[in-house]
Amino acid sequence: MAQIEYKDLLDAGVHFGHLTRKWDPRMAPYIFMEKNGIHIIDLNKTVAALDEAANAIKGIVRSGRKVMFVATKKQAQEIVSEEARRLKMPYVTDRWQGGMLTNFATIRKSLKKMQTLDKMLKDEETVKSIAKRERLTRSRDKEKLERVLGGISDLTRLPAALFIVDVKREHIAVAEAHRLGIPVFAMCDTNSNPEEVDFAIPANDDAYKSISLITLAIGKAIEEGLMERKQDKDDQRVQEEEEAKRTEDLAQAKAEGASQPEATSAPAAIAEDEQEAQ
């Protein structure tokens, strides 16, 4: 992953924490100082934590698993949804529906319902055959489902990890992930509890620039993981083709070797006849 420079973090305001009276004492190891009643995050800790998180998340993606992005606060919705769509990863930016992980079977039913409604409303003959009131009702149901579940419409199994922007706001998602043993990567501001997540990235989780910088850094790590996975698949395919060719060549060589004595039997017989004549 391209190393984020200290200056980039400063320019994005990643170091600005919350008011000192709103802090969580468990964030003390990540706080550099207090200034004008605001805690300042130690950016050296941020760089180290981000690097560790990026390497871990890259490994998860390289193994072929999905990472779910979770950010329902207004200033994070756009950047998180765009990055998740670019990487073809699941995301939740409207609201976290309780049981989205722990009751995934029910969520799958809702996804199936959304797909059925979408298919039905695209069929002109079906649309014409139902009453206008019913059509409007079904359209509203579809829009509501798409708003809440649209980001996970392609999710067929539980994600392997979560990337969360605000731990306090998304506490239900964190709790569900813990219950299922799913690792959580999260931006933790000075009012958060970093012990609730597996990979805490100390950073300002309120400013758009800060959220954007950290999200794009995680997105870059995921992209690298996807590229490495593709390379692994290509290398494996080449290796399989080479092994198949080697096996084919070996079989052909054996076949030629088996037919060789028949070809040399005639000269051997002639040599024997010449010896007898002498």
pLDDT at 170 over 90: yes
What mean pLDDT is reported for the chain?
A: 88
Neighbour count for residue 240 (Cβ, 10 Å): 10
Q: 165: helix, coil or strand?
A: coil
pLDDT in tens, 1-30: 456 888 999 999 999 999 999 999 999 999
pTM score over 0.85: no
Tokens of 8: 């980039």
Confidence of residue 143 (pLDDT cuts 50, 70, 90): confident
Give the residue carrying structure tokens 């490495």.
Answer: 228
pLDDT at 121 over 60: yes
pLDDT in tens, 28-64: 999 999 999 999 999 999 999 999 999 999 999 999 9
pLDDT at site 267 = 52
For 156, which DSSP code? -
Give the residue carrying structure tokens 């180290």.
Answer: 48
pLDDT in tens, 206-259: 999 999 999 999 999 999 999 999 998 888 888 888 888 888 888 888 887 776
Confidence of residue 276 (pLDDT cuts 50, 70, 90): low
pLDDT at site 114 = 86
Using alpha carbons only, how large is the chain's radius of gyration in Å?
30
Of the spans 65-69, 104-108, 136-140, 142-146, which averages the highest pLDDT? 65-69
pLDDT in tens, 81-93: 999 999 999 999 9
- Phi, psi angle pair for 31, to nearest 5°: -100, 130
Query: Looking at residues 95-101, what average pLDDT do you find?
Result: 90
pLDDT at site 275 = 55
Burial 255-272 (b: 16+ CB within 10 A, else e): eeeeeeeeeeeeeeeeee
For 13, which DSSP code? T
pLDDT at site 128 = 75
Domains of the chain by start residue, with CATH: 1-95+158-247 (3.40.50.10490), 102-156 (1.10.287)
pLDDT at site 138 = 82
Q: What is the share, in percent, of the chain residues with pLDDT greater than 90? A: 59
Q: What is the share, in percent, of the chain residues with pLDDT greater than 70? A: 92
User: What's the CA dihedral at 231, 236, 238, 242 to 10 degrees?
Assistant: 160
User: What's the CA dihedral at 173, 176, 182, 184 to 10 degrees?
Assistant: 30
pLDDT at 131 over 90: no
Contact 181, 161 (CB under 8 A): no
Q: Up-side HSE of residue 205: CA atoms within 13 Å toward CB?
A: 23
